[in-house]
Structure 1
């Protein structure tokens, strides 16, 4: 009987030792690491206008869910539509001026050389007329000296010669002007190029006016929820005025673990997540990545350790943890800045 009790005691001791061994193995190879220095993070965009004006329409309320491309607010478009109309009219005027200048350039390229030939022929005719008139005047000069013609006939010959000479000089002046044909053609081309530059400026003005008109609509750049709406219909806003914030639906956790907690932690580790605001809400996720440097290293005033009074402090490294797919109901409960407690399941055997 006594021997039987001893055997039972040995069996119990063996079982206890077995359980202790198993517990030690689990504790050694499987460990949970958690921290309360963790918050929910996410993409947040402050929406501001690019143009000034009065808010004409608001299509959202605080905390409303919206999709990328939705029109959140609209600024009064009256002034901007007028500028577009003026820019369009200026562009049409510039195009018409270019068309007229191009036609003039073509005409100059044809008529200017032709005018040279016409002027040469006119000079030839005027030269012949003047030479005849000059010869007639010389003959009358001899006749009047001999008394063979009257003073009136001589005066008429002098007048005719003077008129013919003036006509010849006029024809020569016209030829000189016609010889400037290359200059005239070049000037007409320069006018066309100048008007093309004005057309380009008009197009740029029109594009700017149309862009400003388009910017009177405040468009959501991503899916998310509206927060901190700070304006109402009729409010006057300028470029850069904060209208509201848009919180994206893509959320994650930034957990600041102590550097001596990171052994065995790696991307892919499973994580249990407890949200302070909702203790009964149980979420899961995985370790995504580690920041390339401690939080203090990237702070506004990094610690200066190169002194003789150095005291070693345990640093914290931000770890990004992504949520497993959230239900729509759970997603509506969460937002950036909320405190959470992530518990990372480590497996040291994998290190």
Structure 2
């Protein structure tokens, strides 16, 4: 704006040559400063784009680090073997420092719930009903008598669950009474029930057999 006022005066010769040259030099310096500022602006824009790209890389690195932490936490949880339910541990086969893979049997957990599996003949089931009271004696408990109730019946005979099933389609046939498993619950409030353990031999009698 200053040069726009001085230039007509310089052309008419109203002002001195030195003042005109000084004003023109000031104009050129101002134009150079503008050009320099524009170049600096472009450099700043490029730096901003570089920062944006670097920020994306850093965010990706942070995401990778978070994923690594999550994976480490999963690996840490895999070092803890949790029992599916409460119970007593037995047959511990794992040793300290031993490496195991998925599916390796480490130990057996015996739950506190105890019940009786009685294998009745199929000819004895006609008089047995769900909820029917029963008594049973345990060999390991000096044949002491305990009480229970019929809880449920197996869906098939024991022979149907065996590896080699009998095939009586041809030849001579000898009728053999099959056995069906009956689950019997142990009535609460019996002191001897706490000594029952899986695998013990028992003799079950229904109320109708007494």
Fold shared per TM-score above 0.5: yes
Query: 1:303 is matched with which residue?
Result: 166
Kindly state the Cα deviation for residue 294 of structure 1 after the two structures are TM-superposed.
0.8
- 2:186–2:193 CA contact under 8 A, matched in 1: no
Flag as ranges the 4+ runs of structure 1 deviating above 6 A: 194-198
Q: Take 1:326 and 1:222, find their aligned partners in 2: how far apart are those partners? A: 23
**Any conservation in 2 of the 1:224–1:249 contact (CA below 8 Å)?**
yes
Q: Alignment partner of 1:237: what SS?
A: coil
Q: Distance in 2 between the 1:199 and 1:315 partners?
A: 67
Q: Which residue of 1 aligns with 2:97?
A: 235
Counterpart residue number, 1:275: 138
Return the offset for 1:219: 3.1
CA RMSD of aligned residues (A): 3.2
Q: Is the 8 A contact 2:138 2:201 kept in 1?
A: yes
Match of 1:294 among 137, 140, 157: 157
1:259-305 per-residue CA deviation (whole Å, 9 max, x = no partner) reads: 01001211011010101111242211000011111110111111112
Q: d(CA) in 1 for partners of 2:58 and 2:172?
A: 75
TM alignment of 1:166-185, pairs within 5 A: none
Q: Give the corresponding residue for 2:185.
A: 322
- Distance between the aligned counterparts of 1:204 and 1:267, measured in 2? 55
TM-score normalized by structure 2? 0.64
Counterpart mapping for 1:93-242 below 5 A: 192=56, 202-232=65-95, 234-240=96-102, 241-242=104-105
Structure 1 residue runs without a partner (length 5+): 1-173, 175-183
- Residues 110-145 of structure 1: per-residue CA shift (max 9 Å, x gap): xxxxxxxxxxxxxxxxxxxxxxxxxxxxxxxxxxxx
Match of 2:117, SS state, is strand
Distance 1:304 1:204 in 2: 58
C-alpha separation in 1, matches of 2:170 and 2:94:
51
Q: 1:337 maps to what in 2?
A: 199
Greater strand proportion: 1
Residues 1:308 and 1:320: Cα distance change in structure 2 (over 3 Å): same
CA distance in 1, matches of 2:119, 2:126: 14
Which ranges in structure 2 are unaligned for 5 or more consecutive residues? 1-41, 43-48
Contact 1:269 1:346 in 2 (8 A): no
Are the counterparts in 1 of residues 157 and 180 from structure 2 also a CA contact under 8 Å? Answer: yes
Q: Contact 1:285/1:321 (CA < 8 Å) preserved in 2?
A: yes
Of 269-278 and 306-315, deviating more is: 306-315
Match of 2:118, SS state, is strand
Aligned pairs, how many?
A: 163
8 Å contact 1:251–1:323 — kept in the other structure?
A: yes
8 A Cα contact 1:289 1:320, kept in partner: yes
Greater relative contact order (CA < 8 Å, ≥ 6 in sequence): 1
**TM-score, normalising length from structure 1?**
0.40
Q: Secondary structure at the match of 2:111?
A: strand
Distance (Å, rounded) in 2 between the aligned partners of 1:295 and 1:342: 18
How far 1:221 moved relative to its partner? 3.0
* Residue 195 (structure 1) shift: 7.3
Work out whether 1:251 is the aligned partner of 2:114: yes
